[in-house]
Amino acid sequence: MAQDLAGKIAWVTGAGSGIGEAAALALAGAGAKVVLTGRREEPLRALAERIAASGGEAAVEPGDVTDAARITAIVEGIASRFGRLDVLVSNAGSNVRERRWDALSPEGAQSVIQANLSSAFYASLAVLPLMRRQGDGVLIHTASWAGRYVSPVSGPAYTAAKHAVVAMSHSINMEECVNGIRSTVLCPAEVATPILDKRPVPVTPEDRARMLQPDDMAALILFVATRPGHVCLNEVVISPTWNRGYVPDARLGSRLGA
């Protein structure tokens, strides 16, 4: 692969598995130095070793992305070590099984909103001053099909949070385009990642195989990250060809979304 991101610095949250892990590998493969963040240090270390074994470079910065102070400290560390940050992949997120209005608790709603919305806000707030000084930067946020289309399956907390991430990303472009900063929000339908394990209705291996895969999302993230500075992909809605939301006879106990 051509080194499209040689000399660039990329920060990936939720890098321990799924889309974040695949994105980190793709960005490192394109030449970027990658900073890996997630709550669990062990998978981040294992990923950094894989990247190093392939000739890339990765730094591990574990942390809770719902902790604004920790996120700020990570970005300050990136600025001190590398002097710049070119790409943010704000990918962290989660859901709960008890997600319907008649089952959702305040604690569950808070955890979902913090993991999916607050984390993206804190990361954006932390990186924007550095990107403004550079006059350049790309923010890539993983929202969801549930961030564009309302359905009962993802639950109101997740759906509301992901809709807010979409709005957040567009608002960044409205204010920061004059500073050379671009924000892209990705709205994927079902992706075969560990978050599916929290679905109230289990997803079969056969259905998972027909979903989008983490590598599909990583290829999209790499495409966004390597566009020239005058190009902004504001929003991308992506789904598997065999879209369970469109197939009336599919086992749709879990329709679309995380």
- In angstroms, the CA 232 to CA 136 distance is 12
Using a 10 angstrom Cβ sphere, with 0-12 exposed, 13-18 middle and 19 or more buried, the burial of residue 141 is: buried
Structure tokens at 165: 């991430």
Task: Say how many Å lie between the first and final Cα of the chain, rounded.
Answer: 31
The residues annotated as belonging to the active site are: 158
- In angstroms, the CA 40 to CA 76 distance is 21
Structure tokens at 219: 């290829």
Burial profile 185-199: b = 16 or more Cβ within 10 angstroms, e = fewer: bbbbbbbbbebbeeb
- In angstroms, the CA 187 to CA 149 distance is 10
- In angstroms, the CA 239 to CA 12 distance is 22
Structure tokens at 69: 């102070």
CA dihedral sign of residues 186, 187, 192, 197: positive
Answer for the pair 148, 186: CB distance below 8 angstroms, yes or no.
no
